[in-house]
Structure 1
C-alpha cells in the first residue's frame, strides 16, 4: 500500500522546521493541529503569533550581517506594510520587534492613533505614508504631523500632492517621493500608475520642496510588484532607481534614505528554494557599488515587508465533508468552506500554498480535486507548486479527513472582505490565535467565531 506519509517523505526533505508528524497527525510550528480542531471545529483560520516576530528578526539579522560583511555605511529600518493584514494582533505582535509602519490608506491613520493611544508606538515611530491620497488621507497625515509625530512622512505620489501639505502642515516636515517604476514585461502597460515620473523628480524637488523651509526631502521610494526576486527585471529596476537616487542626492544634500518596496517572498511549497542571504547581500552590493561609482554616500535603507511578515504565520483548516466521483477519473473532495470566499488568491491569481493532510498519514493516498461549497465552477483547487495535481489520503467513512492550507496570513481577509457578504453567503470561518507563554507553553483563544446569519441579515437590510 502506498501511504500518504511515504509520498511526502519521498517528495520532500521532510520533516521541516515548521512541519512534523506525530502519531500520523500533523504539527505546524509545534502546534498539534488535531487538538485545535477537536477544541474548536472547522472551518477555521489559525494564526501563530510568534512566527511574525521570528520573520522580522530573520530579516533584521540578514541586513545586519550583510551590512557588516560589505562594510555598508547606511542604517537599516524594517517597516511593516499594514495592507497585508490590518488585524490588531498582527500589528501588536510585529511592534514588539522595534519596527515601523508603512500605510496606504487614510483609515490606516486611525490604526496609528489607536496604537499610539495603547502605547504600542510613539511620536518618533516612522509612519511612511504611501499611496494615491484622497483629501481625507492627506488631512489625517497633516494632523499627525501637527501633533508632533516627527517621523510621519508623506511619500508624494504625484506632482500636486505637496500643495495640500503646504497649506495645512504647520511643523517642519520630512517628505519622500515615490518613483514610478517600469512594470514587468508581461504587463499590458509599461509604467506604474503610482509615483512620479523619473524625469520629474528633480524639478519637483527644486521648484516645490527646496524653496519652502518647512519641507525636507529625506527619502526616495520605489515599489516592484514582483517583490525581491533574482531576475534581470528586478536588478535593472533597482540599478535604475539607485542611479536616480545618486542624481538627486547631488542637488539635495539632506536626502539620505531609500525605501525598497516589494518585499521578500514566502514559501509556497513545503520546501523553499529562495536564498535570502544571497539576495540581501546582492541588494546591498548593488547599492554600494552604484553609489561609489556616482561619488555619493550609500543611503540608509528602509524595507516594507508585508507578506513576508505575516504570511507564514497562518493556516486555513478544513474538513472533507464528502467525496464525489464525477467521471471515470475525476474524484472530488468537498470542503466545509470556499476558496473564492476564504482564499481568494487561489481563485483570482492561481496562488498556491503548502497543502498537507492534518491526519490519516498512514492511509493510502489518491489523486483528487478539491471543491469549495459555492455554486461557482471556479471554486476549486487542483494543483500544487511542485506538481500539477493534488494527492491526499483516502477519506475514511467514520473518521473525517482534515486538510490544511498553510502560509495564508497575508491579504486573504483584505481581499475577500472580513465579515461582510460573501459569494453564496458562505460565512467567514472562525479565527483562532495561538501564542506561547513565558514558559513556552502553547495557549489558544478564539479571536472571532464563525460569522453569524444575523450579521449578514443586518448588512443586507433584513429585519433580525
Structure 2
C-alpha cells in the first residue's frame, strides 16, 4: 500500500513539473534549495524569484510575435506591466529589462514612473498607460509627465469629466484612450463595470468632446473584463462587441490605431492547471484581424497589461508547522507560525487558492489536515486545494519539523496585506528574500526586509515617539 506523501502527489498529479522537483525527500522550486533557504533565513519567510518575471514576459512576447507573423497581422504588439500587482523596485527593475511598457492606476504610480525615468530605467520611448479614476493629484502628475515631453503617456478616459480636467492641465496636444465599460458575466452582482464608458456612449462622446478638439487625439480603445482572458462564449462575445466599437471609431477617427485588451492571463494555481496560452493568443489575433478585414479598416496595434501573469509566479511563502490540535474525531489542525490573513490575504478575502506543497519529509506517511494561522480570528485558516476539497501533508511529528510552501503568490499579497504596516493581531510580516541568478547561472539570495519587530509596531501605534 502506497502511503507516503510522495505517493499521494505522484498519483494525483503529473510530477515532477517544470518548476517543481524532488531532491531526496525535499522539494526544489526552479532548482532553489528551499530547505537551504529555511536553514539560512529561518521561517516564516517570503521570497521573490526574479528570473520568473522575465521568463513570463518573454513567453507572452513570443506568443504574440508568432501569432502576428503566422497570420500576417500588420499591427505591432506592446507588453505593459500592470504596476498595481506589485510596485516593488526589484519587480519593476527586472520587468523593465525586457522591452516593456508601464500601466498605472493612481497618482503615486506616476511618482514611481518619474523615479524610474530619473534612474534611466524608463525613457520617452516607453508607453505609460494611465488607467483608473482620475482626480486632482493624478491629473496633475499625468499633466506634468506629458508637459515634460513624455508623448507616449496616454491617459485612459474613465468618465466624462476627465477629458476636460486633463485639457486644462496639459499645455500641448496629447493622446488619450477611452475605456469601455464592459458588461459583466451573469453571475456578477452588477451588469456593467463601474470602470469606463458604456459601449453605446463612446462614439457619441468622441463626436461631442474629442472630434473638434485640435488639442486631443484619440489613440487607443481600452477593453478589459474581470474574468480575464478565457476561452468562453462570454469572453469572445465581449471582445467582438469591443471590436465593433473600434471599427466604428476607426471609420470616423483616423488617429485611433491601438486596441488595449487589458490583462487577465491566468497563472498556475494548482499542479493540475491547464491553459493553452498560445491558442488564446492566436485566436485573439485571428478575431481582431477577421473583424477589421470584413469592415475594411486597418488592424490596431495590440497592447496588453499583464500584472498577475508578470509577477505572480515569482512569489512564494514558507511556513513551519508549529503544533497539531485535534479538535474532534475527524479534524486535525496544523498550526503554522504565521497568519494567512496577513501574509496571503487573498486566501482569506476571496478564497483564492495557491499551489501548496510540503517542503520536506516527502517519504513520510501523509494525513488529512486543516491549516490554521496564529491570529485569534476564526477566518484565519486554509482548508482545501484548488482541485481538491482537502489538504494532505506528511504526518505531524513534534520530533521532525515540517515546513510547507505556498507558491505563485507574487501578485497583490504584499500590498493588500499592508507591507511594513500594521498586521491583524500584530502578527509580524515575515522576512522577505530576493532570489536571482548571477552571470554564470548560479542562484543567489539577498535579504530584502527583516521580519517586523515589536518596536516597528509600537512606533506605528504611537507608543514609541
1:164-189: CA deviation from partner (whole Å, max 9, x where unpaired): 12112112211100111001111111
Residues 272 and 387 of structure 2 are in contact (CA less than 8 Å); yes or no, is this contact kept in structure 1? no
**Match for residue 312 of structure 2?**
311
**Cα shift at 1:210:** 2.1
Q: Distance in 2 between matches of 1:446 and 1:324?
A: 33
Instruction: State the partner residue of 1:236.
Output: 237
Task: For 2:229 and 2:217, locate their aligned partners in 1 and report how far apart those are by CA, in whole Å.
Answer: 29
Aligned ranges for residues 398-409 of structure 1 at < 5 Å?
A: 398-409=399-410
2:63 is equivalent to residue 62 of structure 1: yes
> 1:118-267 residue pairs with structure 2 within 5 A?
118-267=119-268
| TM-score between both structures, scaled by the size of structure 1 | 0.99
- Kept in 2: contact 1:353–1:407 (CA 8 A): yes
Moved more, 216-225 or 162-171: 162-171
How far 1:276 moved relative to its partner?
Answer: 0.5
1:379 aligns with 2:380: yes
Rounded Cα–Cα distance in structure 1 between residues aligned with 2:430 and 2:272: 28
Residue equivalent to 2:349: 348
**By how many angstroms is 1:395 displaced?**
2.5
C-alpha distance in 2 between matches for 1:463 and 1:64: 56
CA-CA distance at 1:198 after TM superposition = 1.7
Confirm or deny: 8 A CA contact 1:225 1:262 kept in the other structure. Answer: no
Q: Which residue of 2 aligns with 1:392?
A: 393
* Alignment check: 8 A CA contact 1:318 1:402 kept: yes
> 1:274 maps to what in 2?
275
Mapped partners of 2:353, 2:183: distance in 1? 26
**What residue in structure 2 maps to residue 412 of structure 1?**
413
- Alignment partner of 1:332: what SS? strand
- Residues 396-450 of structure 1: CA deviation (Å, up to 9, x unaligned): 3222100000000001112111121111011111100000000001110110001
User: 1:215 deviation in Å?
Assistant: 1.3
TM-aligned CA deviation for residue 13 of structure 1? 0.8
Match of 2:98 in 1: 97
Contact kept in structure 2, 1:181 and 1:222, CA below 8 Å = yes
Q: Quick one: distance in 1 between partners of 2:306 and 2:164?
A: 30
- Does the 8 Å CA contact 2:370/2:391 hold for their aligned counterparts? yes
- The SS at the match of 2:242 is helix
Query: In the alignment, is the contact (CA less than 8 A) between 2:181 and 2:198 conserved in 1?
Result: yes
> Given the two structures, how large is their TM-score scaled by the length of structure 2?
0.98
Q: How many residues are aligned here?
A: 464
Say which is worse superposed, 92-101 or 407-416, in terms of deviation. 407-416
Q: Whole-Å Cα distance in 2 between the matches of residues 387 and 200 of structure 1?
A: 45
Is the 8 Å Cα contact of residues 63 and 280 (structure 1) preserved in structure 2?
yes
Structure 1 unmatched ranges of 5 or more:
none
- Tell me the SS of whatever aligns to 2:318: strand
2:36 corresponds to 1:14:
no
The answer for the alignment partner of 2:286 in structure 1 is 285
Contact 2:44 2:430 in 1 (8 A): yes
Contact 2:434-2:446 at 8 Å conserved across structures: yes
Give the aligned CA root-mean-square deviation in angstroms: 1.0
Q: Distance in 2 between matches of 1:27 and 1:171?
A: 54
Shift of residue 74, structure 1, vs aligned partner: 0.8
| Residue of structure 2 equivalent to 1:445 | 446
Query: For residues 71 and 94 of structure 1, what CA distance do their matches in structure 2 show?
Result: 28
Q: Hey, what's the Cα distance between the residues in 1 that align with 2:377 and 2:259? A: 45
Is the CA contact (8 Å cut-off) linking 1:226 and 1:262 kept in structure 2? no
Instruction: Assess if the C-alpha contact under 8 Å between 2:226 and 2:264 holds in 1.
Output: no
Query: Does the aligned pair in 2 maintain the 1:319–1:401 contact within 8 Å?
Result: yes
Runs of 4 or more consecutive aligned structure 1 residues displaced over 4 Å after TM superposition: none
C-alpha separation in 1, matches of 2:390 and 2:110: 44
d(CA) in 1 for partners of 2:86, 2:267: 15
User: How far, CA to CA, are the matches of 1:365 and 1:277 in structure 2?
Assistant: 37
Question: CA–CA distance in 2 between the matches of 1:165 and 1:381?
Answer: 46
SS state of the match for residue 197, structure 2? Answer: coil
Q: Which residue of 1 aligns with 2:334?
A: 333
Give the Cα separation in 2 of the matches to 1:30 and 1:240. 45
| Equivalent residue number for residue 81 of structure 2 | 80
Displacement, 1:204?
Answer: 2.0
Q: Distance in 2 between matches of 1:424 and 1:335?
A: 15
The 3-state SS of whatever aligns with 1:223 is coil
